[in-house]
A and B are shown apart, each in its own frame.
Chain A
Amino acid sequence: MGQATTTAPHPHASPDKSVTDGRLQGLERAGAWRLFWWKFKKHRLAVGSGILIILIYLISMFAEFLAPYAPGDYGARYTYAPPQGLHIWDGENFSLHVLGYDVEFNPESYEREFIVDPEQKVPLGFFVKGSPYKMWGLFASDIHFLGPLDPSQPMYLLGADRLGRDMLSRIIYGTRVSMTVGLVGVSLSLFLGVLLGGISGYFGGHIDNAIQRLIEFLLAIPTIPLWMGLAAAIPPTLPPLQVYFMITIILSLVGWTGLARVVRGRFLAMRNEDFVTAARLDGAGEVGLILRHMLPSFSSHIIAAVTLAIPVMILSETALSFLGIGLRPPVVSWGVLLQEAQNIRSVATAPWLLTPGLAVVITVLALNFLGDGLRDAADPYAD
């Protein structure tokens, strides 16, 4: 069935009908990637998620410029300051501003209370001068995308933490670490997965058996104790950057198994495909066979699998850092930020400390939707 729906030229129609038919022209000369793109485009949710993911990576690239403050800037006056609403209208004309705080001391609870003062307007502006930074460690600047015109006035769009640091800035800086952990970790997993999965699937036999048992062994170890054990091996004296790399390596050492299985499965399926046999009979060597015929046939599957592996990495990093065995301050990642929200009391007084969690959820969901869309489009010849 489904034969009636085929758009391929009918065998009895004149064989050159399709040539004269301009509408079919594009389809005939469309390569695998173009078909892949056409199919992917139909998956609206995935396209939207893809755009969101690109935005998130752009944010992580331009964190210094986009964040209103440096991640370590603190203001003692504004500890646990609540989020301010962004106003664009002051009653008469356009003016971007937030409302300032009146700080009152509650004599009963000994707590400071922030009361929004409608009289006190903090005018904001784009491309304002703020705290100095070095973009990508290369050139110095102090221009920020958005900030108060007077740097001494407060602007906490997502509130402040217990040291009065701006949550928004910290989440933006956290994006950089969390998102790159995902990417670097996955590239390492990808290398291990494609290599071992490819060997396993292509050669089969005892090699396959050994690698598969190794994967099963790795999968059988509970992940959190395994991470803890490996993370404990990182010397506490190491500089933050090295800790960061060690964590990525740990994550990918545990995470390559899934990719290896995908690659092995594709290789096994592909090895007996007629067109691979045909290429072998054409005289193609093993390397040519793999590089020219087999790898292109499942590269899109690999991309989809990788996209689905990134959120796992991000979640793992978040979990590790949250437990205090991953990255440590002063490195800022979403997991490190969530450490602040570990006790009920601070969450009760400052629920905005959970906003990094929201960033994690949005990113992971978007990556999953994107991965789903890619997986569906991965085989453009399926129907």
Chain B
Amino acid sequence: MTETSNDNSTVLSVTGLSVDFPLQRGVVHAVRNVSFDLKRGRTLALVGESGSGKSVSARSLIQLVESPGRIVAGEVRLLTGDTPVEITRLGPKSPLIRAIRGRRIGLIFQEPMSALSPLHTIGDQIDEAIQLHLHVEKAEARKRTIELMRQVEIPAPEQIVDRYSFEYSGGMRQRVCIAMALACDPEILIADEPTTALDVTTQAEILDLIKRLQQQLGMAVLLITHDMGIVAEVAEEVAVMCQGEIVESGNVDNIFHAPQHPYTQRLLGATLKLEQASELRLDTATGSGSKLILSVRNLCKHFEQGGGWFRKKTPVVKAVEDVSFDLHRGENLGIVGESGSGKTTVGRMIMRILEPTSGAVRYTGDDGAGDSDVLKLTKSELKRYHAAVRLVFQDPFASLNPRMTVKQIVGDPLMINKISRGRPLQERVAELLEMVGLSADMMDRYPHAFAGGQRQRVGIARALALEPRVIIADEATSALDVSVRSQILDLLLDLQKRLDLSFIFIAHDISVVRYFCDRVLVMRQGRVVEVGDAETICTAPAEPYTQALISAVPNPDPRNKRMLHRTRFNSVLAGKASAAPIN
């Protein structure tokens, strides 16, 4: 890079780009008449919810559209170098486009595990990228590899360059992908949801890194994301996509503080709504003085691995260690933690899908049955317990049997427990569907006819069928788009008010917990770090780990970039860095 990074000339210009997917039942216009410019040293964020065509747009810049998609109109002009290159004219397999991919335009994918080959060492994979484009000797490529790895802040690159991708942690893998994308000093970096698969603290580090490298190298960055918070933290320019079209674009400050298009306003509204406690909850909030409904004491789960005929026994993994909490009637308790913190395991043990290694779970029904020790229930008692304490799953696609109609799915618990059948069953299912905001005439449809949010509503209707007291929602909204997410949360709050429910809400997303929960339990590596009032935890946490976690959450306000001034929990960062066995 000879130019300085404050020269903001346009390096790539897209005009009127359209991509079609010819399918059996007609053509899907995935991208319609999209235009934008990438400028040197600047970040353009392409924002949109799933299915908005943002990834397809980005991929068409380097002719990587998946079959049967085709670029049907538009120009993509690469303006760096001596003569501008019209990328859409190049064949998807021509040597010309391959010289651009990786060489002049680098790409980072969402899933760093599948972007790396498990068969080759990390070093060899970066070497290959360098050798392909720069035609240098192996030894020289390796020198550059080490240098790149140092540039992306991988500690002690000489020692770990010959390890395999599975020996690296998620964040480290994404660093490797960035190193590969940077191997040939590209002028443009396309980052397709680079941090979606990562934990929030790791996400902050990776975004930091991209930002820093951009400043050093003067790259133009195209960041594709669904998260308005990330946009506010790192982007200068924003283009909002909806159903294949760019509905609004402009300066980040304008987009956030003076959005023009109703879709942008709605998207921002949904994001900002989740930045505070729900109004619905404030009305209903019951103090912790009310009756105890579920209490968990010293719950532990140890997994023993291996131990087959010829396998060596490996040390015990302590997934959950000494977790205790109480759930009161009408209360929403959030369990927050990063991946591997054991939060899902806790939920599954309360449901007895997993058997705890030790500890106690007591459930107090309001039918006067008194306390019951959940871990000692007989089969028929357990069936009654499962009717009172229900689980809502994370994945609205996997949790509904694709071979059953909605009526069968929602009615199944009623039929199995011999509560009703025939005509009354149908009426009850209709009532349940209306309760979750679906129309009753949808009950003959199959799950594949519904979008994610509607499916999650079906899942909630199934959970409500047996008139439960407690609902454990395991990441129930994390697979949903942000606007749908807040709708589902509002639905749950509304149901809570009407049906006198208590929730255990397991999530990795702090904003969801803040919106929904009264009290929050922060977990890390199987242990409880901190318990407290949701508002306190989210604004003034006491523990350093919680502080680091909270401050790493992107703030959807470009005037107040929280993530860049975050508190760092050093032992966490060190722990992450050495998650791969590196010393």
Contacts and interface: CB of A to CB of B under 8 A. Distances in A.
Interface of A: 1-12, 15-16, 18-19, 23-24, 27-32, 35, 42, 273-275, 277-285, 288, 293, 296-297, 381
A4 B446 contact: no
Given A282-B412, A284-B416, A7 B28 contact: yes
Contacts of A283: 383, 386-387, 413, 416-417
B403 A296 contact: yes
Given A4-B53, A274-B395, A277-B399, 11 more contacts: A1-B59, A11-B453, A11-B454, A18-B449, A23-B25, A29-B444, A29-B449, A31-B405, A32-B403, A274-B399, A293-B401
B170 interface: no
9 contacts: A3-B50, A4-B31, A9-B451, A11-B49, A12-B263, A29-B405, A283-B383, A296-B403, A381-B402
B28 A275 contact: no
Contacts of B466: 282
A32 B25 CA distance: 18
B524 to A, nearest CB: 26
Given A1-B55, A381-B402, A279 B412 contact: yes
Interface in B386-420: 386-387, 390-391, 393, 395, 398-403, 405, 412-413, 416-417
Contacts of B55: 1, 3-4
A288 B401 CA distance: 14
Given A1-B55, A8-B448, A281-B390, A274 B23 contact: no
Interface range on chain B (Cβ under 8 Å from partner): 35 or more
B526 to A, nearest CB: 21
Nearest to A35: B448
B484 interface: yes
B391 A281 contact: yes
Contacts of B53: 4
Contact of B449 (A10, A28, A277, A296): A28
B386 A32 contact: no
Most-contacted residue by chain B among A5, A16, A35 (CB, 10 A) = A5
Contacts of A4: 21, 28, 30-31, 51-53, 55-56, 69, 244
A289 to B, nearest CB: 10
A293 B459 CA distance: 16
A152 B28 CA distance: 68
A72 to B, nearest CB: 51
A273 B398 contact: yes
Contacts of B399: 274-275, 277-278
A284 B21 CA distance: 42
B365 interface: no
B28 A297 contact: no
Contact of B445 (A29, A274, A281, A296): A29
B452 interface: yes
B66 interface: yes
Contact of A278 (B391, B454, B484): B391
B569 interface: no
A5 B23 contact: yes
A11 B452 CA distance: 8
A273 B399 CA distance: 7
B520 interface: no
B530 interface: no
B17 interface: no
Contact of B30 (A5, A9, A381): A5
Contact of A31 (B266, B400, B403): B403
B66 A28 contact: no
A296 B383 CA distance: 24
Contacts of A42: 24
Given A4-B30, A297-B401, A27 B449 contact: yes
A9 B66 CA distance: 21
Nearest to A13: B243
Most-contacted residue by chain A among B242, B266, B398 (CB, 10 A) = B398
A275 B386 contact: no
Contacts of A381: 402, 448
B9 interface: no
A216 to B, nearest CB: 13
A28 B401 contact: no
Contacts of B276: none
Interface in B51-74: 51-53, 55-56, 59, 66, 69
Contact of A282 (B52, B393, B416, B484): B416
B355 to A, nearest CB: 14
A16 B391 contact: no
A200 B177 CA distance: 41
